[in-house]
Amino acid sequence: MTDVPAVRRRIATNGIELSVLEAGPADGPVVILAHGFPEVAFSWRHQIGPLAAAGYHVLAPDQRGYGASTRPKDIADYDVHALTGDLIGLLDDAGAQQAVFVGHDWGSALVWQQALIHPERVRGVVGLSTPLLPRSKREPVATMEYVYRDRFYYILHFQEPGVADAELDADVRTSFLRMFGGMRAGASGFSGALPDDGRGFLDRLDAVAEPPKWITDEDFDVFVDTFTATGFTGGLNWYRTFDRNWRLTAPIADRTIAAPALFAYGSEDPVVSGVDLDRSTPWFDDYRATLVLDGAGHWLQQERPAEVTALLLEFLADLPDPPR
């Protein structure tokens, strides 16, 4: 981390404890950084210091189910109300009315919902690598099962407790080599185009011998060591609440995001490939931009740290002053 060092502390929130990296002035405008799967707060190591140095009070948790935070066993404890409630608890602990919420991957999906469920607490919202997707007309898992039928689709593969867990836990270093190094445009684990021939998720990603150039061996080992200790089940449980979340958010199905919003993704990200991003924009009242980082893959804030930090600082500087 650069500029302003972060301090790790535990914050009790919403019936659990979150292990949080915190930096910047206590009275500064709050920015909450929400990581995705399979990551931890360390994923924001390049952004925390510069944001804190610019005067922001930065909070980056190991989210529920990850790292040193509480990992509930019940899948229902990972629904959208639990997860958004965790982040509201961080905001309450900071003594602030609002925050700018920044998310990557699953964290991006979460902060979009944060802005819909708790609009009065959201000063601005930035999603990286996962766009806001319009609500499906049917329960999502049934819809995916109909669309993909006898084809492999990773979200369906992640549904059955214990299956993907065992696959990813078996050799954690190989899991991260393939996910960090093999998730590029065209990765067959994400396309939903190939038959379900018995292969798992990792076998559909490129075999990679060394970590990608954008991460040091030391930083790579942080992820390997963390998930060797915890396993992947906590993060996978987020995928197992799709239908539950769909039902829980029915009362706000027609709500739009009022807060200023920005979305950024890498041109080589297989998660975004084929997604019609124009379907998202009607659900925003103050949509600022869609930014594409040419040549970048899925792990945006780690692959292109300077560019992501710069776009965050520019977005933050253009917001009105936070309420006191």
pLDDT at 5: 83
Q: Report if residue 277 sits inside a domain.
A: yes
- The structure tokens listed for 218 are 């030391």
Q: Please check whether residue 253 lies inside any domain of the structure.
A: yes
Residue 1 lies in a domain: no
Q: In this structure, is residue 172 part of a structural domain?
A: yes
The predicted structure's pLDDT at residue 188:
55
Q: Which of 110, 93, 95 is nearest to 11 (CA)?
A: 93
Q: Please list the active-site residues.
A: 105, 298
Nearest of 143, 160, 153 to residue 188 by alpha carbon: 153
Q: Judging by DSSP bridges, how do beta strands 16-23 and 30-34 pair with one another?
A: unpaired
Question: Taking the mean position of all CA atoms in its chain, how far away is CA 267?
Answer: 18
Cα separation of 164 and 27, whole Å?
43
Q: Confirm whether 2 is domain-assigned.
A: no
DSSP state, 77? G
Cα distance between the two ends of the chain: 29
Residue 119 lies in a domain: yes
Q: What is the pLDDT of residues 211-269, one digit of tens each?
A: 999 999 999 999 999 999 999 999 999 999 999 999 999 999 999 999 999 999 999 99
Question: How many domains does the chain fold into?
Answer: 1
pLDDT at site 1: 42
Which residue bears the tokens 């629904």? 79
CB 20 within 8 A of CB 55: no
Whichever domain contains 211, its CATH number is: 3.40.50.1820
**Integer Cα distance of 182 and 208 in angstroms:** 7
Q: Is residue 241 part of a domain?
A: yes
Which helix (H) or strand (E) element contains residue 128? strand 122-128
What distance in Å separates the CA atoms of residue 15 and residue 255, rounded to the nearest whole number?
Answer: 28
What DSSP string describes 9-43?
Answer: EEEEETTEEEEEEEES-TTSPEEEEE--TT--GGG
pLDDT lower than 70: segments of the chain: 1-3, 185-193, 324
In a domain, 323, yes or no: no
Domain that holds residue 236: 7-317
Number of residues that make up the chain: 324
